[in-house]
């Protein structure tokens, strides 16, 4: 029924599905692995399915007839598609899919270049020098965070400095920001700086690793 619908319904044609290598997941007697024994004796069916589609950021341009040179920024690969027959609280068995995502960079060069100035230590305030490309949409809410090199999320910062409130020097090609030494980790280690853009809701520049 689903395959027939995918052939006839335009909105379903772009959706993909993995191979059905598991048993039908419906209909079961409750709390059992036995298919329907009621008076209706429904035929087993693959009722529970996972379909996916990658929505291209260029779909709007395509609808407007513009020429597209870019590929999708995200590639999706199904790595696991299976049912879980041990669950018996419903007349369905749950189905899960595991996916691998590959993210392609939207820009080849960083929007902001960062450098840790001088020797970094908890014994004194430290300096950060950064420069941005001309078209970069900066904001008063942008900040530069100090991260351990093993960080995994933008909220993993050790400390941060506001690019405007903590600015101490500004030149045509670069700006300088200070960060309080009292907030620098005394135990030291390997760190890096990340520039977070409030407008883009993303990290747009990462420094080379350095020692504290």
pLDDT in tens, 65-75: 444 444 567 88
Share of the chain above pLDDT 90, in %: 72
- Please give the distance of CA 54 from its chain centroid, rounded to a whole number: 14
Q: What is the pLDDT of residue 72?
A: 66
Pair 47, 26: CB distance under 8 Å: yes
- Is the confidence at residue 61, as pLDDT, over 70? no
pTM over 0.85: no
Same fold, 1-104 and 112-211: no
pLDDT in tens, 139-184: 999 999 999 999 999 999 999 999 999 999 998 889 999 999 999 9
Q: What is the pLDDT of residue 195?
A: 97
Instruction: Give residue limits of the domains in the chain.
Output: 1-104, 112-211
The yes/no answer on whether domain 1-104 falls in CATH 3.40.50.720 is: no
Q: What is the CATH number of domain 112-211?
A: 2.60.40.2840
The C-alpha angle with vertex 177 and arms to 173 and 183, in degrees rounded to 5, equals: 155
């Amino acid at each position: 029924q689903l395959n027939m619908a995918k052939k006839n319904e335009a909105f379903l044609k772009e959706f993909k599905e993995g191979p059905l290598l598991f048993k039908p997941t419906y209909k079961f007697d409750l709390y059992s692995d036995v298919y329907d024994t009621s008076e209706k004796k429904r035929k087993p069916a693959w009722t529970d399915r996972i379909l996916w589609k990658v929505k291209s950021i260029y779909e709007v341009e395509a609808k407007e007839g513009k020429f597209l040179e870019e590929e999708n920024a995200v590639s999706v690969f199904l790595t696991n598609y299976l049912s879980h027959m041990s669950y018996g609280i419903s007349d369905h068995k749950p189905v899960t899919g595991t996916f691998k995502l590959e993210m392609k960079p939207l820009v080849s060069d960083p929007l902001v270049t960062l450098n840790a100035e001088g020797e970094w230590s908890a014994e004194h305030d430290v300096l950060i020098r950064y420069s941005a490309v001309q078209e970069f949409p900066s904001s008063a809410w942008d900040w530069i965070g100090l991260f351990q090199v093993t960080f995994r999320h933008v909220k993993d910062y050790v400390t941060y400095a506001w690019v405007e409130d903590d600015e101490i020097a500004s030149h045509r090609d670069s700006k300088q920001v200070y960060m309080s030494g009292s907030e620098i980790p005394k135990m030291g280690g390997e760190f890096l700086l990340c520039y977070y853009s409030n407008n883009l809701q993303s990290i747009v520049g990462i420094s080379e690793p350095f020692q504290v």
